[in-house]
């Protein structure tokens, strides 16, 4: 059981806009930044969004993040087949004194 809650799956067609949600509590997302990671099968996670809505260099601007209260979303616009991957949200949890992750969302491009 993950501390942060994500839908197990999401899907969209090429060119579409897709959003992936992540919900937490006051001890984690409600009071700290949210981060998003992208993971392809058999590969390591890669930082996609940091501090709620910042993109590391090299991440396309098709990817965007937002946060409101104890919930956050990752949006992917102009969906491409190469976006098919698992996406994880993460935040610091003050009660647990450590980073916590969502269970991951498997994105399928139809």
Partner 1 sequence: VQLLESGGGLVEPGGSLRLSCAASGFGFGNYAMTWVRQAPGKGLEWVSAITGGGDNTYYADSVKGRFTISRDNSKDTLYVQMNSLRVDDTAVYYCAKGPSYSDYDWFDTWGQGILVTVSS
Instruction: Give me the residues that bind partner 1 (CB under 8 A), please.
Output: 2, 32-33, 35, 37, 43-47, 50, 56, 88, 90-92, 97-104
CB-wise, 31 or 71, nearer to partner 1?
31
| Least Cβ distance, residue 39 to partner 1 (angstroms) | 8
Q: Where are the alpha helices (DSSP H) in the chain?
A: none
Closest separation in Å from C-beta 47 to partner 1:
5
* 65 touches 75 (CB < 8 A): yes
Which lies closer to partner 1 via its Cβ, residue 46 or residue 62?
A: 46
Q: What is the DSSP pairing of strand 71-76 with strand 46-49?
A: unpaired
Question: C-beta of 80: minimal distance to partner 1 in Å?
Answer: 22
40: helix, strand or coil: coil
| CA-to-CA dists, residue 1 to 47, 74, 100, angstroms | 23, 21, 11
Of the pair 62, 101, the CB lying nearest partner 1 is at: 101
| Backbone phi and psi for residue 40, each to the nearest 5 degrees, phi listed first | -90, 150
In the bound state with partner 1, the residue whose beta carbon lies nearer, of 27 and 77, is 27
């Amino acid at each position: 059981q993950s501390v942060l809650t994500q839908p197990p799956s999401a899907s969209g067609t090429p060119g579409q806009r897709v959003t992936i949600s992540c919900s937490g509590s006051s001890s984690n997302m409600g009071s700290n930044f949210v981060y998003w990671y992208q993971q392809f099968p058999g590969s390591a996670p890669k930082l996609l969004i940091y501090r709620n809505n910042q993109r590391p260099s090299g991440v396309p601007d098709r990817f965007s993040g937002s946060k409101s209260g104890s919930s956050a979303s990752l949006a992917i616009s102009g969906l491409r087949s190469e976006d098919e991957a698992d996406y994880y949200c993460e935040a610091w949890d003050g009660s647990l004194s450590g980073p916590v992750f969502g269970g991951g969302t498997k994105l399928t491009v139809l």
